[in-house]
Amino acid sequence: MKPARHHVPRHLLTDVDVAIVGAGAAGLSAALVLGRCLRRVLVLDGGPPRNAPSPAVQGFLTRDGTKPADLLRLGREQLMPYNSVEIAAGTVTDIEAMSGHFHLTIEGATGRTRTLSARKVLLATGVEDELPPLDGMRDLWGRGVLHCPYCHGWEVRNQPLAVYGRAKLVTGLALLVSRWSPDVVVCVEDPAYLTLNARRRLRQQRIQVREEPVVRLEGTRTGELRHIVFESGEKLARAAVFIHAHQHQRTQLAGQLGCRLTSKGAVWVSKQHQTSVPGLYAAGDTTPGTQQALLAAAEGNAAAISINETLTREECPR
Ligand SMILES: Cc1cc2nc3c(=O)[nH]c(=O)nc-3n(C[C@H](O)[C@H](O)[C@H](O)COP(=O)(O)OP(=O)(O)OC[C@H]3O[C@@H](n4cnc5c(N)ncnc54)[C@H](O)[C@@H]3O)c2cc1C
């Protein structure tokens, strides 16, 4: 840890002021704001971000089309002048809430563990997508298999597209995707549950429904989709298939700490990005709401301001 430039007066001496768990858009953005507040910060980087399989981050003002790894590299580069901020590779495996501070257990790449104390912790750990268990899904994820038309619709506009999934989820997604292409086919896993109203809405939008079971996706070695293959052996040529991927928290840390979770499994936070555990904050995909890299960065920024203000209040009692 680099030496702290500014000593925190009248307060418990911990290794750092803030430990940020996760070095994606949310975590790095929070680190930038806290670095600018002269806070002692350690960012723990547990591996690639959620969008790592994707060729580019789209819709990020001034960075539209940047490779996901390049976005984070730029973020890290811009943290370099802030010498109270350190980024370390490591996975946080445990967080213990003490009275007024936290103890974190960090596992390095070699499996060695160490502990760290922090006054506040920000969870910026993101989510993991659950892909349908269909041959080819995982290989094409992020290029030929997509989840978000706002992220990828423009790149596949006016091309033959498909939407694959369960009856209760495909209709809304297919209607949305039809904004980007006039040629959308729905492949429904459980056609018996596709309501008459859903079928009518799809028909009105000229979206064809395919009810035969899909057995696999075929694509190129670089991840582009070529065909959807049905049980009969028939192949449907498509440029991309959209799915509604379920997701879960990338780590169990929030749950283990007893944080309140929403019905969808997101970490509940207040307007100040504070979880239900005092001193523990969360930002980015891990919290409820629209999931976009720019929004994750914005949430990291807001959480950092909230953390700094809380620390300042603690340091300057009335
Ligand atoms: C295929 C795909 C394409 C996408 N394309 C776009 C796009 O074009 N535009 C857009 O705006 N959004 C896009 N998104 C959404 C975008 O990826 C997310 O909104 C964004 O990555 C969220 O940032 P985050 O910092 O919250 O989480 P992440 O980027 O997922 O970062 C979380 C970080 O926390 C780390 N971590 C997790 N647990 C631990 C732990 N215990 N210890 C230490 N570190 C840990 C992870 O390794 C990871 O580095 C896409 C998503 C997917 C899946």
Could you tell me the pLDDT band of residue 171, with boundaries at 50, 70 and 90?
A: very high
| pLDDT in the model for residue 309 | 98
Mean pLDDT confidence for 181-202 = 98
Same domain, 124 and 262: yes
274 and 144 in a single domain? The answer is: no
Q: Is 62 exposed, middle or buried (0-12, 13-18, 19+ CB in 10 A)?
A: exposed
CB atoms closer than 10 angstroms to residue 292: 20
Give domain status of residue 59, yes or no. Answer: yes
Do 136 and 112 belong together in one domain? Answer: no
Q: Note the pLDDT of residue 5.
A: 44
Indicate if 141 and 160 belong to the same structural domain.
Answer: yes
pLDDT at 317: 86
Does residue 180 share a domain with residue 99? no
Same domain? For 143 and 285 the reply is: no
Looking at the fold, whether 253 and 124 belong to one and the same domain comes out as yes
Name the band, by pLDDT with cuts 50, 70 and 90, for residue 318. confident
Task: CATH number of the domain at 212, please.
Answer: 3.50.50.60
pLDDT, tens digit (0-9, with 9 covering 90-100), for 241-292: 999 999 999 999 999 999 999 999 999 999 999 999 999 999 999 999 999 9
- Residue 161, domain member (yes or no): yes
pLDDT tens for 65-95 read: 999 999 999 999 999 999 999 999 999 999 9
In a domain, 10, yes or no: no
Domain shared by 148 and 190, yes or no: yes
Q: What is the pLDDT of residue 86?
A: 98
Top mutation candidate among 44, 250, 256 for ligand 1, by most atoms within 8 Å of CB: 250
Name residues contacting ligand 1 (CB within 6 A).
Answer: 21-27, 44-51, 53-54, 57-60, 91-92, 124-126, 129, 142, 151, 250-251, 284-285, 291-294, 296
Looking at the domain assignment, is residue 8 inside a domain? no
- Counting the structural domains of the chain, the total is 2
Shared-domain flag, residues 48 and 182: no
Domain extent, residue 142, equals 132-243
Which of the residue ranges 103-107, 182-186, 230-234, 314-318 would you say has the lowest mean pLDDT? 314-318
Show which of 211, 243, 275 is a domain's final residue: 243
User: Do 67 and 200 reside in the same domain of the chain?
Assistant: no
Same domain, residue pair 273 and 183: no
Task: Tell which one of 62, 66, 125 to mutate to probe ligand 1, the residue whose CB is within 8 A of the most ligand atoms.
Answer: 125
Summarised one tens digit per residue, pLDDT across range 102-142 is 999 999 989 999 999 999 999 999 999 999 999 999 999 99
> Is the pLDDT at 168 greater than 50, yes or no?
yes
The answer to whether residue 55 is domain-embedded is yes
Q: What tens digit of pLDDT does each residue of 19-39 get?
A: 999 999 999 999 999 999 999
> In the chain, at which residue ranges do the beta strands (DSSP E only) sit?
16-21, 41-45, 85-89, 91-97, 102-107, 113-123, 127-130, 145-146, 161-165, 184-188, 208-210, 214-219, 225-230, 235-237, 240-243, 246-249, 280-282
3 state DSSP class of 16 = strand
Looking at 243, 264, 284, the residue that finishes a domain is 243
In this structure, the answer to whether residues 136 and 124 fall within a common structural domain is no
Q: What is the mean pLDDT of the chain?
A: 96
Q: Is residue 47 part of a domain?
A: yes
User: What is the predicted pLDDT for the residue at 11?
Assistant: 57
The last residue of a domain, from among 224, 243, 262:
243
For residue 104, the one-letter residue type is L
